[in-house]
A and B are shown apart, each in its own frame.
Chain A
Amino acid sequence: MLEVQNLMVFFENALAINDLNIEVDEGEIVGVIGSNSAGKTTLMNALSGLIIDMRIKEKRRGGERITVYGNILFNGQDITETRPDDRVKMGIVLCRERHPIFPESSVLENLKIAGYLKKRPEVLDSIKYVFDLFPALPKLKTRKAGFLSGGEQQMLAIGMALIVRPKLLLLDEPLLGLSPMMQQVVVDAVAHLKKRTGITVVISEQFARPVLPMIDKGYIVENGMLTLSGTGQELMDNPEIKSAYFGI
């Protein structure tokens, strides 16, 4: 479904992603695991196309020059230069890190904004579906999103990404800043989502412990380079992963 071929991203002279190859099949949950500054967010921005917008903005204000090499194929079509809004229409939706919600709008309004391009009945249907998936949200639907807790904001952010019914959901560090209990709620929701809809998910995360058990395939990224790949179970059994991520 998604194929990343020899992806390289430079921020001025710094190499953020170096010759990365990733393959995602339909209906899989794929994990991209790496520590801070591994290049996870850059990869997610490259997949969602946000990097194109960043590149234009930085160029205009004379900031860091962003250069991208390599190809990204989605269902066989080269989307390397496709704009982020067009990628959303193709079904690739990114849920960015640090729960990006509209703090001044209510939970319901946030979900409606996210579904602006869809028809009203479809949006109402999707909202119901999101509320089913995250039972904590319906009670809060008139509350301003800025006043929600971190975990609730993260659920809302994932819900907003789901409103447009994506084919490929990109989750960038969805567990960041959440308690272990809340992390489990989000992980369970993603697993449940896959079971129910068969959606394809790419999840980038530095917390390997909650993520590895639920993924079909995982890529370990360090300093922008792919260091290890395999199924979730293979990675969990790997002694290097055990010592680096589990501390055992």
Chain B
Amino acid sequence: MRNAQLNSTDSKHRRKERIDRGIKARSSDIFALSSWREMLYLAAPRCIPIVGCLMLPLVLGIYWQKVLLSVAVFALLAISWDILEQSGMISLGQALFFGMGAYTAGVFNHYFGWPPFLTIPFASILGGLISTVILLPVLRLRGIYFSMVTLIIPLMLVRIVEATRIFGGTEGLSGITPLPSKWLELYLIVGALLGALFGFRRMMGSDYGLVLKAIRDNDRSVMNAGINVYWFKAQALFIASAIGAFAGAFMTHVYMFVGMPVFALDYSILPIAAAVVGGPGTLAGATLGAFILVPLSEILRGIGGLRIVIYGLFLVVFIVALPEGIFHYIQRKYHQFERWVEV
């Protein structure tokens, strides 16, 4: 029966066609904007996160302001994970970067009395450098081997702190100087998040970012183009670990304490979950993921024991139903429309 229908070549089939919106084509190619609406189309996706992030501290209550701090920190860690992922390094140990930053800031504040405005930038650089040096020998490893090493190192460092009792041992270092005001805390981390998001997105879109992405796709071809792959990987590693170290250093001054929990597995796993739910490869997806997962985890606190089950179910449903990630999906709907056409 079906064959009979198909025998003629002009049989009517319908298929859904996906087409870039006109404004998308104009703005990404010839850049001829002709109306306020078109300018808004371009500006809105950039302005909404900026305005949103700057307004949020003003409208949220004290409890949710603390959650926002946590969201921003996890978003930074997720961005750091995403940069590594885009350079072909799947890290399972963002806690290493976070912990290195946290301990560096804590030690310099506790033993030498450096103020937060010195320790935070200093710890970002030094923490990043130490993490990079620790991971330098494993840069030549690919895939799961690199991941395993990054997973193990923070767990090892916890035991080292415990066994040698350096930097306060299991007690940690307390009495760290806090940041001068709550508002400064909020706007420092939100500003850093926005800066990292837009800055590193631009970086990954530049020729430099292209090289990093090419290393992920085919490192031998990149070597063949006369580029030292390991030098570029080391740079990407330093950038990613400096972001993580900044988040750690910041949190040390927020909690006024640094101890073994900074190497906890949470700081390694949650950023990956955020990046996967939001959509890896864009940095914006990682940020969006953190903005969904961290508050969700807070909301579910009221449920008690089943919290982790529901949280896990949410993750599984998202990963199965929308494997491309929320950000990719939204981006596609924003730039393209669909219509039925006859073939």
A residues adjacent to B (C-beta < 8 A): 5-6, 8, 10, 12-13, 19, 60-63, 65, 67, 69-71, 73, 78
From A62, A69, A73, B343 is in contact (CB under 8 Å) with: A69
| Smallest CB separation, B11 vs chain A (Å) | 7
| Smallest CB separation, A80 vs chain B (Å) | 9
| Smallest CB separation, A42 vs chain B (Å) | 16
CA distance A63 to B323 in the complex (A): 11
Q: Is the CB of A5 within 8 A of B17?
A: no
Q: Is the CB of B11 within 8 A of A67?
A: no
Q: Is the CB of B9 within 8 A of A71?
A: no
From A5, A19, A67, A73, B15 is in contact (CB under 8 Å) with: A67
Asked if B329 is at the interface (CB within 8 A of a chain A CB), the reply is yes
Q: Is the CB of A13 within 8 A of B18?
A: yes
Q: Which residue of chain A has its CB nearest to the CB of B329?
A: A62
From A5, A62, A78, B328 is in contact (CB under 8 Å) with: A62
CA distance A192 to B183 in the complex (A): 82
| Smallest CB separation, B43 vs chain A (Å) | 25
B 8-20 to A, binary, CB cutoff 8 A, 1 in contact else 0: 0101010111110
Q: Is the CB of B3 within 8 A of A69?
A: no
| Smallest CB separation, A86 vs chain B (Å) | 19
Interface residue SS majority, chain A = strand
Q: Which residue of chain A has its CB nearest to the CB of B279?
A: A62
Q: Is the CB of B323 within 8 A of A60?
A: yes
CA distance A5 to B6 in the complex (A): 8
Q: Which residue of chain A has its CB nearest to the CB of B331?
A: A62
Asked if B332 is at the interface (CB within 8 A of a chain A CB), the reply is yes
Asked if B324 is at the interface (CB within 8 A of a chain A CB), the reply is yes
CA distance A145 to B4 in the complex (A): 47
Asked if B37 is at the interface (CB within 8 A of a chain A CB), the reply is no
CA distance A71 to B5 in the complex (A): 11
Query: 8 nearest interchain CB pairs?
Result: A62-B324, A67-B15, A61-B324, A69-B13, A6-B6, A60-B323, A61-B323, A19-B9
Contact residues in A for B6 (Cβ distance below 8 Å): 5-6, 69-71
Q: Is the CB of A10 within 8 A of B332?
A: no
| Smallest CB separation, A60 vs chain B (Å) | 5
Q: Is the CB of B7 within 8 A of A5?
A: yes
Q: Is the CB of B18 within 8 A of A65?
A: yes
B 326-343 to A, binary, CB cutoff 8 A, 1 in contact else 0: 001100100000000001
CA distance A44 to B329 in the complex (A): 31
Q: Which residue of chain A has its CB nearest to the CB of B338?
A: A65
Known contacts A5-B6, A5-B7, A70-B6; A65/B323 CB under 8 A:
no
Q: Is the CB of A10 within 8 A of B343?
A: yes
CA distance A63 to B6 in the complex (A): 28
| Smallest CB separation, B143 vs chain A (Å) | 14
CA distance A19 to B2 in the complex (A): 16
Contact residues in A for B13 (Cβ distance below 8 Å): 8, 69
CA distance A70 to B9 in the complex (A): 10
From B3, B19, B332, B343, A5 is in contact (CB under 8 Å) with: B3
Q: Which of B13, B16, B19 has the most CB of A within 10 A?
A: B13
Q: Is the CB of B3 within 8 A of A71?
A: yes
Q: Which residue of chain B has its CB nearest to the CB of A60?
A: B323
Contact residues in B for A63 (Cβ distance below 8 Å): 324
Contact residues in B for A10 (Cβ distance below 8 Å): 15, 343
| Smallest CB separation, A194 vs chain B (Å) | 29
CA distance A65 to B336 in the complex (A): 13
| Smallest CB separation, B336 vs chain A (Å) | 10
- List residues of B (15-52) whose CB comes within 8 Å of A's CBs: 15-19
Q: Can you identify 30 A-B contacts, CB atoms within 8 angstroms?
A: A5-B3, A5-B7, A6-B6, A6-B7, A6-B9, A6-B11, A8-B13, A8-B343, A10-B15, A12-B18, A13-B19, A19-B9, A61-B323, A62-B323, A62-B324, A62-B328, A62-B329, A62-B332, A63-B324, A65-B16, A65-B18, A67-B15, A69-B6, A69-B13, A69-B15, A69-B343, A71-B2, A71-B6, A73-B3, A78-B3
Contact residues in A for B343 (Cβ distance below 8 Å): 8, 10, 69
Contact residues in A for B3 (Cβ distance below 8 Å): 5, 71, 73, 78
CA distance A13 to B16 in the complex (A): 9
| Smallest CB separation, B172 vs chain A (Å) | 43
**A-B contact sample (10 more), CB < 8 A, given A5-B6, A10-B15, A73-B3:** A5-B7, A6-B6, A6-B11, A8-B13, A8-B343, A12-B18, A60-B324, A62-B329, A63-B324, A69-B15
| Smallest CB separation, B68 vs chain A (Å) | 30
| Smallest CB separation, A5 vs chain B (Å) | 6
CA distance A36 to B13 in the complex (A): 28
| Smallest CB separation, A65 vs chain B (Å) | 7
| Smallest CB separation, B103 vs chain A (Å) | 39
CA distance A10 to B13 in the complex (A): 12
Contact residues in B for A62 (Cβ distance below 8 Å): 323-324, 328-329, 332
CA distance A60 to B322 in the complex (A): 7
| Smallest CB separation, A15 vs chain B (Å) | 8
Contact residues in A for B329 (Cβ distance below 8 Å): 62
Contact residues in B for A5 (Cβ distance below 8 Å): 3, 6-7
CA distance A12 to B341 in the complex (A): 12
